[in-house]
Structure 1
Amino acid sequence: MLEALGLSTTAAAVYRAMLDHPQDGVDALAARCTLTPVQVHDSLDELGALMLVRASADRPGQMRAVDPAIGLADMVARQEADLAARQAALAASRAAVTRMVADRAEHRATHGERLLGMDAIHARLEHMGRTATFEVLAVQPGNQHPEDLHASRPADTEALARGVAMRTLYQDATRHQPHTAAYAHWLLSHGGEVRTAPTIPQRLIITDRAQALVPIDPTDNRKGALHITEPGILTALTDLFEQAWNTAIPLGATQPGDPDTGLTPTERHLLRLLGTGATDDTAGQRLGISTRTVRRHMASIMERLDATSRFEAGIKATHKGWL
């Protein structure tokens, strides 16, 4: 558990030993943890940087462990603040990319080309996959059309066989969509990496950080796509992908609810969306889930809050710090 908060295994062992045996000095801790005194000193430095140990008032020159209810809670709070900052940066990047792509959507010089129709899009995706030399980055929001997944497989198979690194970002909802989940697990089994998040940027494919494909209409990727090679736009798109990737969860990993609220990541995002005035339909589209699922999530949240209306649920969620 402590390792998940950023502690090394060695430092975690020393911290537990200090909590259980507060009178132990460095030598005693080393013997108890089967470590060298140097390793114990290094662990104390690590624990000190994380504010989990402090100087002992009773034993000059020695350290005491900070109560986990204080020290670990502070660590979690710092991590939550860091995550909130990354999410804010992601939102700002998403807005900047949307504006930039919109400004360039009509540009048809050497740095941009409009592809109309799925045949043209599939042909370009196949070419991008077959010419990729080291990396393919993909954002795939919503449920995927089975025919699109089928069309992608040959190029993906060939690229993975050549050792091209493939990272794909899906929405959490796809974990429960059979054909999309099956394709995601197929990517994993062939050496790709897959992560999911409640909300992700618009559909996007980047190869070798040198060319990208984005939909002309984010609400309907089948209308056409814009092929981009403009370095400035590519840098912004790649940064957007990396920020979204860093806050996503690997496919196959469990998604535990918040220990304080019991909310899953999807439920927390849903509350935030509805709190900004989004309708059930709009929130469902953003999260890649049906309106019925949105209402089922809200019914569960209202039950936990003992609220008889969404308005009351919003007030109680705010008072509890859920929003």
Structure 2
Amino acid sequence: MKEARKDTMLRSLGMSSHAEAVYRAALRHQDHGVVALAQDTGLTVQEVRAALDELALLALLKPSAQFEGRLRAVSPDVGLTALLASAEAELASRHAQVEAARAEIAAIAADHRSSRSFDGGTRLEGLDAIRSRLEELQRATEFECLSLNPGGAHRPEARETAAPLNEEALQRGIKIRAVCRESFRNDADTLAYARWLVERGSQMRTVPTVPIQMIIIDRKAAVLPVHVDNPRAGALEIRSPGIVTALHALFEQIWEAGTPFGRQLPRDSDGCTATEKALLKIVAAGDTDEAAARKLGVSLRTVRRMMAQLMERLDAASRFQAGVNATKRGWL
């Protein structure tokens, strides 16, 4: 009867399926030669010879004392047990190497953290370091991720990096809330990404201006830019409980003032949108049109058009007069 040809766990001991089939057949028929073993296993003569060479290398065949010029199969209690002991020793050695590598990684990571650490936080130098740390933090998030986003359109590479992380977090039940500038609605790609996030369970609100870029993880850590005007230059990871609590309060205050994504931007009792009120405050503070455009995330042309409309509604011949009239009417 031919031996069944199949893969088994003996392959983990370095034995191929052909070698195992021949070994099993040789154990049953110690007097069978190459041709007979080929018939027993359904292998070709060439395949049997290759299997016999393999078994000899594994010390599972020895010269036969009964049949001259032939080999006998070594008892599995001896041959296979020896192979198993060798595999176990190799596994133990590999495990020791892995544990040594784990300890080395921990030491390198600790040294890396200490080189960037300051009292209550860590400094992250450059965009790569920031993104790498944000990936670590997001994967370790337990229940909540909050963010303030003062930018307008999101860069494509930033969306490509954030999308899988956000999706994985939402699938784990992480609550994501984000505040963005209203001007992001002017970019089709960013708008589509926002819809994608909201459809998957994120919450998003918009306000005319966002004071600073910020991410808060589990109300335990906050990431802020080192330079407000250049968030790509570096960031600070803050873990001081008092500071994080204050930053969380700032987020909640801005969140409450925001308009939920998907709703039409409301007008107040004076007929003004939040963006128009924000523009009046910016101009009243003495900022230029260019500065107002940067803060609102809109074009200079849009700022001038909005300001002209506001001046007309306020019966003002100048921006200064517009500010005075807006104050008298209680718009500011």
TM over 0.5: yes
Q: Does 1:258 align with 2:258?
A: no
Matching residue of 2:98 = none
Matching residue of 1:130 = 139
Determine which of 292, 306, 314 is the counterpart of 1:283. 292
In the alignment, residue 305 of structure 1 is paired with which amino acid?
A: L
List runs of 5+ in structure 2 lacking aligned partners.
1-114
Displacement of 1:281 in angstroms is 1.8
Q: Does 1:142 align with 2:139?
A: no
Matching residue of 1:203 = 213
Displacement of 1:110 in angstroms is 5.9
Matching residue of 1:109 = 118
Contact 1:171 1:197 in 2 (8 A): yes
Matching residue of 1:236 = 246
Displacement of 1:191 in angstroms is 0.3
Matching residue of 2:316 = 307
Contact 1:139 1:205 in 2 (8 A): yes
TM-score (norm 1): 0.64
**Between 225-234 and 283-292, the greater mean CA deviation after superposition:** 283-292
In the alignment, residue 255 of structure 1 is paired with which amino acid?
A: L
Matching residue of 1:271 = 280
Matching residue of 1:175 = 185
Contact 1:284 1:290 in 2 (8 A): yes
Displacement of 1:147 in angstroms is 1.6
TM-score (norm 2): 0.62
Q: Does 1:162 align with 2:172?
A: yes
Q: Which has the higher contact order (CA 8 A, sep 6+)?
A: 1
Q: Deviations over 1:169-207 (max 9, x none)?
A: 101111222222222111101100000111223001111
- Cα separation, 2, equivalents of 1:242 and 1:256: 20
Contact 2:283 2:319 in 1 (8 A): no
- Cα separation, 1, equivalents of 2:327 and 2:285: 13
Matching residue of 2:236 = 226
Displacement of 1:237 in angstroms is 1.0
Q: Does 1:316 align with 2:321?
A: no
Contact 1:201 1:244 in 2 (8 A): no
Q: Deviations over 1:127-164 (max 9, x none)?
A: 11111010000111121322212211121111011000
- Cα separation, 2, equivalents of 1:313 and 1:206: 39
Q: Deviations over 1:110-133 (max 9, x none)?
A: 632111121111111111111101
Q: Deviations over 1:231-279 (max 9, x none)?
A: 11111111111111111110011222223x2211100111111111111
Q: Tell me the SS of whatever aligns to 2:209.
A: coil
- Cα separation, 1, equivalents of 2:120 and 2:325: 51
- Cα separation, 1, equivalents of 2:310 and 2:291: 18
Q: Deviations over 1:263-298 (max 9, x none)?
A: 111001111111111111222222222222211110
- Cα separation, 1, equivalents of 2:163 and 2:149: 14
Give the CA RMSD over aligned residues: 1.8
Identity of aligned residues (%): 46
- Cα separation, 2, equivalents of 1:154 and 1:160: 10
List runs of 5+ in structure 1 lacking aligned partners.
1-105
Contact 2:179 2:204 in 1 (8 A): yes
Q: Tell me the SS of whatever aligns to 2:227.
A: coil
Q: Does 1:248 align with 2:264?
A: no
Matching residue of 1:91 = none
In the alignment, residue 256 of structure 1 is paired with which amino acid?
A: P
Q: Tell me the SS of whatever aligns to 1:221.
A: coil
- Cα separation, 2, equivalents of 1:222 and 1:300: 36
Contact 2:284 2:320 in 1 (8 A): no
- Cα separation, 2, equivalents of 1:175 and 1:284: 15
**Between 232-241 and 145-154, the greater mean CA deviation after superposition:** 145-154
In the alignment, residue 247 of structure 1 is paired with which amino acid?
A: A
Runs of 4+ displaced beyond 6 Å: none
Determine which of 183, 199, 204 is the counterpart of 1:189. 199
Q: Tell me the SS of whatever aligns to 2:148.
A: strand
Q: Does 1:294 align with 2:303?
A: yes
